[in-house]
Structures are given as structure tokens and as C-alpha cells.
């Protein structure tokens, strides 16, 4: 028995599925744009102020907004609102600097490391975090972002370039011991 009559139905279902996927992609893109707008408003509110001079609550708010902006620009699949990010202040050591960086001007300076965790019962990453952003304490410049799949975007040479897209880091997780 020939089922040619099902072909129009399959085409309609296929088109509907593509439309649903497009709507999902567009709604995610709209959500990302909304988050970016909010983050930029927060960042502009504190423009020109030294991060360390801010009260701790404002400092955490600003650092989270800056880190979230970088993640949403370079690896939106890695953004998790699982819980508040961990913020740590540390001194830049030789081992933290990229090997190919000839200029050691950052050595010894203070750095905020903003780490976003994820629900380890639902997914698994190569790193113990979904994203980690390094922000220079004295200027608030973004120096790097590391994603859960181990890919690292470095901005030490020109910290303003974090706003320039270099291609989005695609989301990957470990499934059955392999990165997928």
C-alpha cells in the first residue's frame, strides 16, 4: 500500500518543527539581548568608579554583570543562573599569565575571578565550573574567560576586545566520558 497521502502531512510537520526551532532560537537570542542590555546598564551605572572602592554588595553586583556580559557574548550556552557566582580576589602570578604574552605588566596586580557553577547532577563539564571570568581589580578590565569545555579567550593584549566577537564558543559537555 502506497502512503503518498502522508507526504503533505510530513512536509507540514517538518515545516512546523523548523518554525518551532527558529522561534526557540529567536527567543533565546532575544533573551540574551535583554540580559546584555541589563548588564550594560549596571556596568554604566558604576563607570569611572574603582571596583575595590565600592561597597561589597555593589562590587559583587558589578563584577557579576561584567562577567555575565562576557559569557553571553562569547559562549552564551555556558551561562547558568544556577546560583550566585563565586567571587575571589587574588594576585596575578607568573603561572596565570598566557605563555605567549611578552609584556608582564599584569604580574603582581590584583584580579577578581568570577566563577559560575552548574548543576553537576544534570550535566558534566571538563572544568569544575561552567564559566570563569578574570577581571583586573584596578581598572575593571576583562582579561580572560574560560568555559567549562576548557576553551579560553584571552584579552590581556587588548582588554577592550572582549566586546569584539571572535566567534561564539559552542556548548559542549561530557557524555559517556567523551566531550560532545
Q: Where are the domains of the chain?
A: 8-179
**95 DSSP assignment:** G
pLDDT in tens, the chain (180 residues): 454 444 444 444 444 444 444 344 446 788 888 888 888 888 899 888 889 899 999 999 999 999 999 999 889 999 988 899 999 999 988 887 776 655 578 888 999 999 999 999 988 889 999 999 999 998 898 989 999 998 888 776 666 666 666 678 888 877 666 666
Do you know the residue count of the chain?
A: 180
What ranges make up the beta strands (E) of the chain?
86-91, 110-116, 131-136, 142-147, 152-154, 174-175, 178-179
**C-alpha 105, offset from chain centre:** 25
Amino acid at each position: 500500500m502506497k502512503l503518498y497521502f502522508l507526504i503533505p502531512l510530513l512536509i507540514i510537520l517538518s515545516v512546523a518543527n523548523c518554525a518551532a526551532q527558529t522561534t526557540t532560537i529567536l527567543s533565546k537570542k532575544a533573551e540574551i539581548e535583554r540580559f546584555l542590555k541589563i548588564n550594560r546598564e549596571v556596568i554604566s551605572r558604576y563607570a569611572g568608579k574603582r571596583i575595590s572602592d565600592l561597597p561589597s554588595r555593589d562590587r559583587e553586583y558589578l563584577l557579576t554583570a561584567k562577567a555575565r556580559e562576557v559569557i553571553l557574548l562569547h559562549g552564551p550556552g555556558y551561562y547558568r543562573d544556577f546560583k550566585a557566582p563565586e567571587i575571589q580576589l587574588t594576585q596575578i602570578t607568573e603561572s596565570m599569565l598566557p605563555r605567549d604574552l611578552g609584556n608582564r605588566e599584569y604580574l603582581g596586580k590584583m584580579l577578581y575571578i568570577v566563577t559560575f557553577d552548574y548543576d553537576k547532577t544534570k550535566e558534566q563539564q571538563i572544568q569544575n565550573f561552567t564559566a570563569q571570568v578574570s577581571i583586573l581589580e584596578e581598572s575593571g578590565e576583562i582579561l580572560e574567560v574560560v568555559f567549562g569545555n576548557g576553551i579560553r579567550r584571552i584579552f590581556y593584549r587588548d582588554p577592550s576586545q572582549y566586546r569584539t566577537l571572535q566567534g561564539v564558543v559552542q556548548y559542549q559537555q561530557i557524555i559517556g566520558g567523551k566531550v560532545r
